[in-house]
Structure 1
Amino acid sequence: MIELAGSDIGRWLAGYLWVFFRIGALLMTMPVIGTQLLPMRIRLYLALALTALVAPQIAEVPQLDPLALGTWVVIAEQILIGAAMGFLLQLLFQIHVLAGQIIAMQMGLGFASMNDPAMGISVAVVGQVFTMLVTLLFLALNGHLVAIEVLVESFTTLPIGETLQAVGFHTLVLRFSWVMASALLIGLPAVTALLIVNLSFGVMMRAAPQLNIFSVGFPLTLVFGLFILWVLLGNTAGQYHLLASEALIWLREMVGAR
């Protein structure tokens, strides 16, 4: 008959519990998997499956004591690490959402919004087009697998129970400027082209005041904006590759992975 002591059971549960909290926090916040497109039950099953694969590879973990304050501190640390990694990946998607919003405002489609099934909010149609395209690129280039690989490596670079001084959470604050600059860089060609169109309409209105430029200018601006958007989509893959490379490099730097 096999006899298990209380300490053995606590050590076994702790080995899986700490890992589950970090993995679950990432899967609940990262793009695609952490959105409303994937049911909560599927995310939970996926977190349990990854925990069952990763936990046996981790040697030393803190003892589990539900009544100790240190236990809840470790739980908070694991959730914070996983959520920070998922939030950094979310910034990559928000760049394209913001770029689509900027382009939509310039081409007269700022009022045309639709519900985003992933986030559960209303976004511009152009922003939703960019979001769907980036989602397909993220899955096609195995971005989700790279994120899980970095997560598994983080258990070596950031062992469970150690302090979070080595984690680069301060980089998240600096990335907001990166989001704005990258979104403007993506939308700058369309904004410049539409600005030239609007200036041309202004000159025409100045030269011929009797011409009802508003009834003609809005449809032309919309059609020309769609043409510019079609041209921009051809270079989206290259821009995404550069931005995704930067985001994944910063993700590795955050957890100290190589």
Structure 2
Amino acid sequence: MSLLALTDAQISTWVASFMLPLFRVGAVLMTMPIFGTTLVPKRIRLYFALAITVVITPGLPPMPQVSPLDLSGLLLIAEQILIGALLGFSLQLFFQAFVVAGQIISIQMGMGFASMVDPTNGVSAAVIGQFLTMLVTLLFLGMNGHLVVFEVLTESFTTLPVGSGMLVNHFWEMAGKMGWVLGAALLLVLPAITALLVVNIAFGIMTRAAPQLNIFSVGFPLTLVLGLVIFWVSLGDILNQYQPLATEALQLLRDMAQAR
């Protein structure tokens, strides 16, 4: 009875064909929104990465034959981690636009003091920003945005094959396009800021017309209530504001991965 003989080259090829994609998939899951937050335990994220890698590995292009423990193998692992982290971070910016928008609205309406611990990042954040984050998370999952991310991730192994180099210039060009986050946040809150500005101007006119009126005791609660009403009204158009931003964020993800 003959035993199955395996060479070092065969073992290295099998290990590389699974381990190298695992590091890229794992880096994406560790940095992207929803899955990369502290709400999802690291062990669960590891199980997700293993499951996704097992599913997509048979359809990936051939991996380079390297030893995982020598310098070339470590450089390839670092390359996969960096590519995956950049892809996840580019999607993280989309969610942060709504956090910044909620922070701006909170400050303008006088609710900047109303903060709570953000369970996803472990820091204090404005309540309105937290509400917008949960709303965008539900919209993102409800419209299968996570499936688009996994599709782009799988295609990135063809467009950015393992061992082809980091394409630093390409990623540097894409980084220049990430400045749309602040502009997107300002566009989200522009109607609410304009309405609150009109309210503050009205209070200023009242102060000039009736100096004996204690505008601080009257203006603060009115600004707070009117701000909540304005925010509630603006939520009716949140879907029309979400769709172009989500499209731009996913297109940026595709451009970084050079996907179709």
Query: What is the TM-score when the length of structure 2 is the normalising length?
Result: 0.96
Displacement of 1:232 in angstroms is: 1.2
Residue from 14, 17, 27 that aligns with 1:15: 17
Aligned residue in 2 for 1:40: 42
- 2 CA distance for matches of 1:86 and 1:212? 51
Matched residue, 1:177:
179
What's 2:93 paired with?
Answer: 91
Looking at structure 2, the residues matched to 167 and 257 of structure 1 have their Cα atoms a distance apart, in angstroms, of: 17
Cα distance, 1:204 vs structure 2: 0.4
User: May I ask how many residue pairs the two structures share in their alignment?
Assistant: 258
- Deviations 1:149-195, CA, capped at 9 Å, x for gaps: 00000011111111122773124532442011110000111111111
Q: Distance in 2 between matches of 1:33 and 1:67?
A: 29
- Cα distance in 2, alignment partners of residues 98 and 244 from structure 1: 16
> Would you say the 8 A contact 2:90–2:178 is kept in 1?
no
Partner of 1:75: 77
Q: Distance in 2 between matches of 1:174 and 1:209?
A: 50
Alignment of 1:104-183 (within 5 A): 104-165=106-167, 168-183=170-185
Separation in 2, partners of 1:121, 1:171: 31
Mapped to 1, the partners of 2:92 and 2:254 lie a distance apart of 15
The CA RMSD measured in Å over matched residues stands at 1.3
Cα drift, residue 53 of structure 1 = 1.2
Inter-partner Cα distance in structure 1 for 2:60 and 2:213: 75
Q: List runs of 5+ in structure 2 lacking aligned partners.
A: none
Residue ranges of structure 1 left out of the alignment (5+ in a row): none
Provide the TM-score with structure 1 as the length reference: 0.97
1-side partners of 2:182 and 2:45: how far apart? 30
How far apart are the structure 1 equivalents of 2:30 and 2:68?
24
Letter in 1 for 2:211: P
Task: Confirm or deny: 8 A CA contact 2:114 2:127 kept in the other structure.
Answer: yes
Mapped partners of 2:234, 2:226: distance in 1: 12
Q: Tell me the distance in 2 between the aligned counterparts of 1:46 and 1:20.
A: 10
- Cα distance in 2 for residues equivalent to 1:67 and 1:10: 10
